[in-house]
Amino acid sequence: MFESFAISAQALTSQRIRLNVIASNLANINTTRTPEGTPYRRRDVVFSAHPFESALSVAGRSTLTGVRVVEVVEDARPFRLVYEPSHPDADENGYVMYPNVNPLEEMVNMMTAVRSYEANISVLKATKTMISKALEIIT
């Protein structure tokens, strides 16, 4: 039962990192110049299944897996071009490159991450309840 705590804790940490990346994307939605001289480039989180050592292993392989953040990658989609000749970052044709961040996509990702976070909180609560009930039976 205690492994389910560890699995849920890993999932909570992973979703927290995902929410931080989403918040960064939304905060930089209009950032046209970074230290590299380009607009902000949207970032996304890459997850990977992670096996747990377990008493429930079969032939030396764990049957339980958790999730971990492998890396945070930049989105390769092109920047948005907007005609704003008076903008300080406009090119010679009057176009400004804006980040490749879509607020609708980010909000959907945020809702999904929050739901996953809530689901893992529910797993923690259910596990805690099962342990409490088991202790009640013993005593």
Helix residue spans in 41-102 (DSSP H): none
Listed in order, strand segments (DSSP E) in 84-132 are 95-98
Residue 86 in this model has a pLDDT that exceeds 90: yes
Residue, of 62 and 43, whose pLDDT is higher: 43
Please give the pLDDT value at position 136.
85
Please tell me the predicted confidence (pLDDT) of residue 54: 52
16: helix, strand or coil: helix
Q: What is the mean pLDDT of residues 67-92?
A: 94
User: What proportion of the chain, given as a percentage, has pLDDT over 90?
Assistant: 66
- Domain with 116, as residue range(s), is 2-138
What's the number of domains the chain is made of? 1
Contact by Cβ (8 Å): 90, 82: no
Q: Which residue has the tokens 């805690």?
A: 128
